[in-house]
Structure 1
Amino acid sequence: MEQHIDYLIEHFGYFGLIIMLIVGIIGLPIPDEVLLTYVGYNVYHGKLSYIISLICAVLGSVVGISLSYYIGYKFGLPLLKKFGPKINITEEKVNSTQKLFNKIGSPLILIGYFIPGVRHLTAYVAALNKFSFRKFVVYAYLGAILWSYTFITLGRKLGERWDQVGLYVSKYSMYLFLLVIVIVIMVYLYWRKKQQLRNVGKF
């Protein structure tokens, strides 16, 4: 994996990062979290700029998830049934994500980035449910920022301990995911309470 990333960075620079994240979000089997943490590791060594890496990561994620939404909205379930299995997007996975979407609602678009196997499907499911693109953009783009920041910063902080990054990401990603959920819920509750107080103040 490292060799492929190094090759892309050496030959295509930040553009290679953008392309990998676009195709990864759409559904190709690319270990996105490992990619982002390795980018953070390169930031630590001064090979990449932290800010530019974040911008490119967010851009690649945003473009990828927007394309996924467009594909789901334009072509619907028949296309996913026909070509989805070729990139490991099965009807069973779409159905399970649909159930999650029904339970959690629109926040799944945001936190779905942190759930392996769900990140690639939330945009398709949102589109199949005719979810408003304006609302989709709010959750999807905010999620892209949080996700990119989390894993690039993780790689940067671990620095020389890169050999442990793969272990951390695979072993503790669920704990990281749960932490992110708690933070997101707290932010949401704070925002909702603030809105309620603001509405009360109008009367």
Structure 2
Amino acid sequence: MDVAKELISQYGYFAIFGMLVLGIIGLPIPDEVMMTFVGYLSSIHILHYGLAIVISFSGALSGMVISYFLGKKIGKPLLDKFGKWIGLTPKRLETVRRWFDKYGPWTIVFGYFIPGIRHVTCYLSGMNEMKMKKFLTFAGSGAFIWCIVFITIGYTIGVI
């Protein structure tokens, strides 16, 4: 987390955007802690609250779109080829696909608040060929709510 704090302190909004893109794709970046820190920096007027939300949302959504396309282009072929090695038989993959068709959009929205789940849902959306408009609607909603919640928590902590 110290590296994230240092990057945000030096590069501001560019660091926030970049770390969220990389964190959503799957690098081990403590997104929730970082977002709370961004909110705190907004409360002491180092960052602008509204701009921090917009930049954070843009970074999160960009990471989600990249993950979606990675899932769409290479995820399914990789699972078809190597899935059996980790217990993902074609039957299990079909079960996951059906479950995701039914619950996937809401998993994207609410799963955004669960580390690990938010990363996987984007790849699964691409692998299951969810329509881009539908994906952006649900992913954007989840990302926007998530950004507002954690930045506001940090902002509130800084004001207290």
- Above 0.5 in TM-score? yes
1:114 counterpart = 2:113: yes
Q: State the match for 2:16 in structure 1.
A: 17
Q: State the match for 1:141 in structure 2.
A: 140
Q: State the match for 1:158 in structure 2.
A: 157
Letter in structure 2 aligned against 1:47: I
CA contact (8 A) 2:17 2:59 kept: yes
CA contact (8 A) 2:5 2:34 kept: no
TM-score, normalising length: structure 1: 0.66
Unaligned runs of 5+ in 2: none
Letter in structure 2 aligned against 1:159: G
Q: For structure 1, which segment, 26-35 or 101-110, has the greater mean C-alpha deviation from structure 2 after superposition? A: 101-110
CA contact (8 A) 1:23 1:64 kept: yes
Q: Secondary structure at the match of 1:105?
A: helix
* C-alpha deviation, 1:128, in angstroms: 1.0
Aligned counterparts of 1:33 and 1:15: Cα–Cα separation in 2 = 17
1:45 counterpart = 2:41: no
Letter in structure 1 aligned against 2:114: I
Distance 1:150 1:69, change over 3 A: same
* C-alpha deviation, 1:78, in angstroms: 4.4
CA contact (8 A) 1:26 1:65 kept: yes
* Corresponding residue pairs, total: 149
Percent identity over the alignment is 42
Letter in structure 2 aligned against 1:67: I
Unaligned runs of 5+ in 1: 83-89, 162-203
TM-score, normalising length: structure 2: 0.83
Greater relative contact order (CA < 8 Å, ≥ 6 in sequence): 2
* C-alpha deviation, 1:9, in angstroms: 2.0
Q: State the match for 1:131 in structure 2.
A: 130
CA contact (8 A) 1:43 1:49 kept: yes
Q: State the match for 1:32 in structure 2.
A: 31
* C-alpha deviation, 1:79, in angstroms: 4.4
Distance 1:38 1:81, change over 3 A: farther
Rg larger in structure: 1
* C-alpha deviation, 1:42, in angstroms: 1.0
User: Could you report, residue by residue, the CA deviation over 1:35-86 in whole angstroms, capped at 9, with x for unpaired residues?
Assistant: 100111111111111011001100000100000001011112344799xxxx
Q: Secondary structure at the match of 2:140?
A: helix
Aligned counterparts of 1:150 and 1:160: Cα–Cα separation in 2 = 15
Distance 1:4 1:73, change over 3 A: same
Distance 1:150 1:80, change over 3 A: farther
Q: State the match for 1:183 in structure 2.
A: none
1:58 counterpart = 2:57: yes
Q: For structure 1, which segment, 59-68 or 45-54, has the greater mean C-alpha deviation from structure 2 after superposition? A: 45-54
